[in-house]
Structure 1
Amino acid sequence: MHETIQVLIVEDDFRIADINRQFVERVAGFTVLEIVKTSEEALAYLRSHSALPQLILLDVYIPDSAGLSLFWKLRQEFNEIDVIMVTAAKEVVTIAETLRGGIFDYIVKPVDFGRFEQTLKRYYDQTHLLASRVELDQSEIDRLTGSRRFHALEKENEGELPKGIDQITLDKIKDILQMDDGLGMTALEAANKVGVSRSTARRYLEYLVSIKKADAQLKYGDIGRPERKYSP
Structure 2
Amino acid sequence: MIKTWQVVIVEDDFRVAEINRRFVEQVSGFNVLAELRTAAETLHYLQQAEQLPDLILLDVYIPDSPGLELFWRLRKDFPSIAIILVTAAKETVTVEAALQGGVFDFLIKPVDFDRFNKTFTRYRKQKVLLASKKEVNQEELDRLLFGSGLRADKSITADGLPKGIDRLTLERIEEISEHSSAEGINAFDAGEAAGVSRSTARRYLEYLVSAGKVKAQLQYGEVGRPERTYIKI
TM-score (norm 2): 0.64
Shift in Å, 1:50: 2.4
Structure with bigger helix share is: 1
In the alignment of these two chains, the number of paired residues is: 157
**Inter-partner Cα distance in structure 1 for 2:138 and 2:151:** 13
**Inter-partner Cα distance in structure 1 for 2:23 and 2:13:** 15
SS of alignment partner, residue 22 of structure 1:
helix
Shift in Å, 1:46: 0.4
Unaligned ranges ≥5, structure 1: 158-232
SS of alignment partner, residue 31 of structure 2:
strand
Shift in Å, 1:141: 0.8
Change in CA separation of 1:35 and 1:139 when aligned onto 2, cut-off 3 Å: same
1:102 matched to 2:130: no
Q: How does 1:38-187 map to 2 (within 5 A)?
A: 38-146=38-146, 148-153=148-153
The answer to whether the Cα contact below 8 Å between 1:2 and 1:128 also exists between their aligned partners in 2 is no
Shift in Å, 1:135: 1.3
Aligned to 2:195: none
SS of alignment partner, residue 53 of structure 1:
coil
SS of alignment partner, residue 34 of structure 1:
strand
SS of alignment partner, residue 67 of structure 2:
coil
**Inter-partner Cα distance in structure 2 for 1:147 and 1:108:** 19
- Note the alpha carbon deviations across 1:90-138, whole angstroms, 9 max, x for none: 1000000000000111000001100000110010110121122221122
**Inter-partner Cα distance in structure 2 for 1:71 and 1:126:** 22
Greater Cα offset, 133-142 or 23-32: 133-142
The answer to whether the Cα contact below 8 Å between 2:139 and 2:149 also exists between their aligned partners in 1 is no
What amino acid maps onto 1:39 in structure 2?
A
**Inter-partner Cα distance in structure 1 for 2:27 and 2:122:** 11
**Inter-partner Cα distance in structure 2 for 1:102 and 1:40:** 22
Aligned to 2:177: none
**Inter-partner Cα distance in structure 2 for 1:31 and 1:143:** 24
**Inter-partner Cα distance in structure 2 for 1:71 and 1:154:** 38
Greater Cα offset, 129-138 or 78-87: 129-138
TM-score (norm 1): 0.65
**Inter-partner Cα distance in structure 2 for 1:154 and 1:97:** 33
**Inter-partner Cα distance in structure 1 for 2:155 and 2:67:** 40
Aligned to 1:162: none
Change in CA separation of 1:47 and 1:154 when aligned onto 2, cut-off 3 Å: farther
Aligned to 1:10: 10
The answer to whether the Cα contact below 8 Å between 1:9 and 1:32 also exists between their aligned partners in 2 is yes
Deviating runs (4+, > 3 A) in structure 1? 147-157
- Note the alpha carbon deviations across 1:118-171, whole angstroms, 9 max, x for none: 1100101101211222211222111101174444446659xxxxxxxxxxxxxx
Change in CA separation of 1:144 and 1:77 when aligned onto 2, cut-off 3 Å: same
**Inter-partner Cα distance in structure 2 for 1:62 and 1:36:** 10
**Inter-partner Cα distance in structure 1 for 2:150 and 2:136:** 19
The answer to whether the Cα contact below 8 Å between 1:8 and 1:34 also exists between their aligned partners in 2 is yes
What amino acid maps onto 2:78 in structure 1?
F
The answer to whether the Cα contact below 8 Å between 1:56 and 1:81 also exists between their aligned partners in 2 is yes
**Inter-partner Cα distance in structure 2 for 1:29 and 1:148:** 21
